[in-house]
Amino acid sequence: MFKGILIEKDGDDYRAALKDIDEALLPEGDVTINVAYSTLNYKDALAITGKAPVVRRFPMIPGIDLAGTVETSDNPDYRVGDGVILNGWGVGETHWGGLAQKARVKGEWLVPLPGAFSPRQAMAIGTAGYTAMLCVLALERHGITPHSGDILVTGAAGGVGSIAIAMLARLGYRVVAVSGRTQEADYLKDLGAAEILDRAEFASPGKPLGKERWAGAIDVVGSHVLANVCATTRYGGTVAACGLAGGMDFPATVAPFILRGVTLAGVDSVMCPRPARLEAWARLARDLDPAVLDAISSGIGLGEVIASAQALLQGNIRGRLVVDVQG
């Protein structure tokens, strides 16, 4: 038996609870992992609360991230005792995930634990940090450099936002943070934000085009915020869009794209091909100061996951939550 969060659905009755689960029920896969740490991402909170249809099969162990050691392996690439991490691939949605003490997965989904990070640090990064890096890579691919101008980061005090700010600042960018939590100004400045703007400035319907302000942006919010970010991006700039914390809609016009040559670069972490994942993790090892991870993460045990999921969706969690699944 092992401990894990289990989500069950019976008609309209949707519930998540910490349970003792029989190891014989683990899904198919060629690698079994002793999970050490998982995390709580926005998507995990949606899955646990049932606020959005993230979970596609029941019962489900949520958790789109895990870090641990290989317990058994029929995969030639992994041996017993290897340190591994996993982000996405539908884990925690269609395949049992990381918010448990054991997982069985396809070896091809795994990434070796980067030498630069401990398992806990890798989960302080988690899907949020790896996605932040995919966004930085998208800006770079479109020619954005620290000389291009300011970079705007929305949802700044959240997981993706916090890590994006820390990395961009370390890479030499001038970062402008957008947050609904002005009380977190010192936290955001310590991460490297040069300026903090109130989310309210972006949250209402805006004009098709506004004053040109940012060379690039990383948006986790969607909806009016993304529309206003695009409308105020400078000629030839790029906006990397990865989130929907403010809504799935995109009430914008084509004006920024056809009159200013702005690029809207979509970023997906779940089905992101393996070479791009390896590149993102290698760049995280190079460009993210591990010391930042202590400042942006707090730890919880499996018993605190369900209450924390509610708090996260209410916007009350700062930075990243690491789950010590053995604790």
The contact set with ligand NDP (CB under 6 A) reads: 41-43, 127-128, 131, 155-161, 179-181, 199, 220-221, 225, 242-246, 267-270, 312, 315
Q: H or E segment at 135? A: helix 119-141
Least Å from the CB of residue 47 to ligand NDP: 11
| Closest CB to ligand NDP among residues 73, 127 | 127
Distance between CA atoms of residues 260 and 209, nearest Å: 9
Say which residues have a Cβ less than 8 Å from residue 282's Cβ, sequence separation at least 6.
Answer: 114
Distance between CA atoms of residues 103 and 292, nearest Å: 28
Residue where the block lists tokens 């870090």: 67
Least Å from the CB of residue 2 to ligand NDP: 26
DSSP secondary structure, 106-121, as one string: -GGG-EEPPTTS-HHH
Least Å from the CB of residue 60 to ligand NDP: 17
Least Å from the CB of residue 297 to ligand NDP: 11
**Residue whose C-alpha is closest to residue 318's, from 197, 165, 114:** 165
Least Å from the CB of residue 62 to ligand NDP: 13
| Closest CB to ligand NDP among residues 95, 199 | 199
What residue type is 233 in one-letter code?
T
Q: What are phi and psi of 279, to 5 degrees?
A: -65, -45
Token pair for residue 315? 């916007």
Token pair for residue 230? 């695009």
| Closest CB to ligand NDP among residues 100, 265 | 265
- The closest residue (CB) to ligand NDP is 158
| Closest CB to ligand NDP among residues 42, 78 | 42
Least Å from the CB of residue 152 to ligand NDP: 12
Q: H or E segment at 9? A: strand 2-10
